[in-house]
Structure 1
Amino acid sequence: MLTLNFFLAITWMTLQQSFTFSDFLVGFLLGFGIITLSQRAIREQVVETVRLQRKQDIGQYPQRVWKLLSFTNFAFWSILKANIDVARILLRPRLNINPGIIAIPLDVRSEIGITVLSNLITLTPGTVSMDVSADRSTLYVHCIDIQDPDALRDDIKQNFERRVLELFP
């Protein structure tokens, strides 16, 4: 935590564009406050990260970076494609949409995996992640146009969740 506190202090100094001792002290105190308020969340994230690293070989770093780049490329492409789809829906002469909420059973179990999946779905125009069940087994998603709920559910599981599972089991 001390390293993180120093990092936050240096970040503060950089943002202030002033590298004096007083700016370091202010940054250190601000960092101390941030760490104190978020200590539980930081500790849980560190434990989760260590658990994931034990499950995976550290030598797989290049493969993980490639998966992350591939995931980022997929996310941008999905967002672009969804923007075009939503524009087509809105530019139709008659607004013939079938909005609704679908339940998606989750294979991803980690909190970070569920968060990344939910955010990716929400970032994609036309869909909004609404809630996760208490047992973290179902994600509820609102969609602007549902023609076939099963096809949409399969699309999310095969494209979005599968890629998230590669990064965050």
Structure 2
Amino acid sequence: MQPSRRRALFSQALLLAGLILLWCLLWGMFDLLTLVTGLGVALLVSFLFYLPAVELSGRINLWRTAIFLGKLLVDIVRASAEIAWLVLKPRFRSSNAVIAVRLRTTSDLIMSWTAEAVSIVPGSIVVDLDRTASTLYLHALNVHDDADIDEVVAEVLGTERRLILAIGSRAEADALRHDHDHVSIGRGQ
């Protein structure tokens, strides 16, 4: 069997396993009947609805994954405290922005996970993801000047960087290590 065919079968099996897991979590049971009906629903969904193939890198760096998850947890706690302070602040002046951030990756998986990771941190929400341009558009709170915009962009690119180093392809991780100066920022586009 060809490596590309084997990789496609692995991706499909992983998708089915994820759908079965989701089904079991929705029902709150992991018995035989729930697993079998979950398999049936997963197969039905896979064949009836078009789900674009997500190309997996086949590489997971456990240390970098732990760093990503740890930093994400720290970001969530820090941002929650900042939002709480803004709400309680007597002279809070709201200033928000929609910011376009050009990502380094073209991987759908990395782009999606970056968008999810950015969205679960309080203070910003992804409003659009342009796959063809690898651009993430997000609404950010408490943005007053260009320095604040640059800080938000740096946080998003840092999240993407940690994801690439954790689960990205070897080629993307190597390119990222060699290209420290690559930062593309789009404002108001």
- Offset, 1:78: 0.5
Are 1:79 and 2:88 matched, yes or no?
Answer: no
| Matching residue of 1:149 | 149
Which runs of 5 or more residues in structure 2 are unaligned?
A: 1-11, 173-189
- Offset, 1:151: 2.9
Residue of 99, 103, 110 corresponding to 1:102 = 99
Q: What is the rounded CA distance, in whole Å, between the counterparts of 2:30 and 2:114 in structure 1?
A: 35
**The 10-residue stretch of structure 1 (87-96 or 129-138) with the greater mean CA deviation from structure 2:** 129-138
Which runs of 5 or more residues in structure 1 are unaligned?
A: none
Q: What is the rounded CA distance, in whole Å, between the counterparts of 2:67 and 2:13 in structure 1?
A: 34
Residue of 26, 31, 36 corresponding to 2:39 = 31
Letter in structure 2 aligned against 1:31: L
Deviations 1:47-105 (A, max 9, x none): x12xx23xx5xxxx6xx111111111111001001011111111110121211101101
CA 1:27–1:72 in structure 2 vs 1: closer, same or farther (change >3 Å)?
closer
RCO higher in 1 or 2 (8 Å CA, sep ≥ 6)? 2
- 3-state SS of paired residue (1:44): coil
Q: What is the rounded CA distance, in whole Å, between the counterparts of 2:109 and 2:70 in structure 1?
A: 19
- 3-state SS of paired residue (1:108): coil
Length-normalised TM-score, structure 2 = 0.65
Number of aligned residues: 146
CA RMSD of aligned residues (A): 3.0
Matched-pair identity in %: 19
State which structure, 1 or 2, has the greater radius of gyration over its C-alpha atoms. Answer: 1
Q: What is the rounded CA distance, in whole Å, between the counterparts of 1:115 and 1:126 in structure 2?
A: 18
Residue of 53, 60, 71 corresponding to 1:44 = 53
